[in-house]
Each structure stands twice: as C-alpha cells, then as structure tokens.
Amino acid sequence: MAYETIVVEHEDHVATIKLNRPDALNALNSRLLGELTQALREADANDKVRCVILTGSSKAFAAGADIKEMSQKSFVDMYLSDFFGSEHDAIARVRKPIIAAVAGYALGGGCELAMMCDFIIAADTAKFGQPEINLGVIAGIGGTQRLTRLVGKAKSMDMHLTGRFMDAQEAERAGLVSRVVPAKNLMEEAQSAAQKIAERSMLTTMAVKEAVNRAEETSLAEGIRFERRLFHALFSTEDQKEGMAAFLEKREAQFRDR
C-alpha cells in the first residue's frame, strides 16, 4: 500500500517503518498516525515479518503531536473523537516486537510513541522531552504514565514540569533507552538487533513481550504467576524441544514457530 507520511521497507524478516513528514519534523498528525497503525497492523499480520523497526530522520524521530492540527480543537472535539485513543490502543495491541531507533528530537507524542515501542535504541544525537507544559497542556499519549514507570517519579516530574530535554546519555542512565550508539551506526545497530530477534521462535518472542509488558500492568505476584504459566505453556511447543536439543547437541537451533 502507498503511504504519504511514512515509508515502509522490508529487509529479510524485518519491516522498517520510517516516519516521513520532514517539513514538520515528523509531527504526528491524524494521517501519519492512521498510516502508522495500518502499517503496524499489516506487519503484525504478515508471516514474513518477525520484527519491526520504527524510526524517523536524523533530525527528528518525531517532534510531537501536530500542534497546527490541534491548536483550534475544543474539549468537545478532543473528547468525542477520543483524540489518538484508538491509535494508541492499536499500537499497544501489536504482538510482534517493535524497536524504536531514535535520532534527533523525540518530543511530546514523539517521546510517547518511542516509549510505546518495546525498547529504544538512541543515536547520540537523540533528545527526549515532554514539553507539552509550554503549550498549556499535558502529555496525552501515555507520557505521564510510561515515562514515570521507566525513569521514576523525580525525573519524570522534572521533564513534565520544566519541559526540558534529556540527551541520549542521560536517557540511557535513567533507563529510558536500552543503548546509545553513534548516529551513523543507528540503523545498522537496530537492524542487527531486529535480525537477532527474527532468528528466534516467534512463540517465545511474543511470550517475552506479553510477560514483560505485564510487569507494568499488574502486581509482582500476579506478574510472576502469569510468567510461570507462559513458561510452562512453552513446554508444549516443538521450538522448546528444538531449542534445548540444539543446545545439548552443540548446534544452532532451527525454530519453526510450532
């Protein structure tokens, strides 16, 4: 399908979705979020795709929700359309892993979108922020919740209340991103991580994603019970037999998603 605001490319078993509104620093308007959710749905349904990379340009992953599109909206407009609610839910429902490869600005909705991915690899040029306070609003796609869970209350309050930006090194120290690499290596690093994920059994990959995400939603006791059930369930798969046999026979496992 031809998109206007994103570019989708496939390499081996990895789909790369590039946000592509260069004139607006990839600001998230309804069209872009609609196309993004459609592309993610397609990737999730495509058996050939085993991992997704979401990225932007060297200047901006995304500079937030589109302020031009929002500026004249009323409470009634926002509430009745449940602004970005269905897009948020659609992205959160994707079962395959999504890596955010972030260079440049990831602000407001851009930071929130990166945090909705399963982990973030940052270029050393990345800048994260929740500057909505400067616009007389607050984060609206999960920023107050996800940033607080990732970096703790003190840093999250600091970011949301002052609107300051966090550079890549601070973001890594704080636990917002999993690795920082030189900007020129960003896509290579993301592709190599995605490739590693793609080589594993999709059953275990999806189980990991479900179980880790539970940690944010439930109590420790419930989360551990959930993890144990999934762990037990994986012993009904051929891939568990193959993975363990391959280890014992000192060879590479050949997973078949069975």
Binding stretches for ligand CAA (CB under 6 A): 24-25, 27, 63-68, 105, 107-109, 112, 131-132, 135, 139-141, 143
Min. distance of Cβ 111 from ligand CAA in angstroms? Answer: 8
Q: Which two tokens stand for residue 86?
A: 């269905």
Min. distance of Cβ 1 from ligand CAA in angstroms? Answer: 25
By beta-carbon proximity to ligand CAA, the closer residue of 20 and 195 is 20
Min. distance of Cβ 140 from ligand CAA in angstroms? Answer: 4
Q: Which of 109, 110, 140, 143 is catalytic?
A: 109
Q: Which of 87, 112, 172, 189 is catalytic?
A: 112
By beta-carbon proximity to ligand CAA, the closer residue of 56 and 140 is 140
By beta-carbon proximity to ligand CAA, the closer residue of 43 and 106 is 106
By beta-carbon proximity to ligand CAA, the closer residue of 96 and 146 is 146
Answer yes or no: 249 catalytic: no
By beta-carbon proximity to ligand CAA, the closer residue of 139 and 193 is 139
DSSP string, the chain: ---SSEEEEEETTEEEEEE--GGGTT-B-HHHHHHHHHHHHHHHH-TT--EEEEE--SSEEE-SB-HHHHTT--HHHHHHTTTTHHHHHHHHT--S-EEEEE-SEEETHHHHHHHHSSEEEEETT-EEE-GGGGGT----SSHHHHHHHHH-HHHHHHHHHH--EEEHHHHHHHTS-SEEE-GGGHHHHHHHHHHHHHHS-HHHHHHHHHHHHHTTTS-HHHHHHHHHHHHHHGGGSHHHHHHHHHHHTTS-------
Answer yes or no: 132 catalytic: yes
Min. distance of Cβ 61 from ligand CAA in angstroms? Answer: 11
Q: Which of 65, 103, 123, 194 is catalytic?
A: 65
Min. distance of Cβ 73 from ligand CAA in angstroms? Answer: 12
Please list the active-site residues. Answer: 65, 109, 112, 132
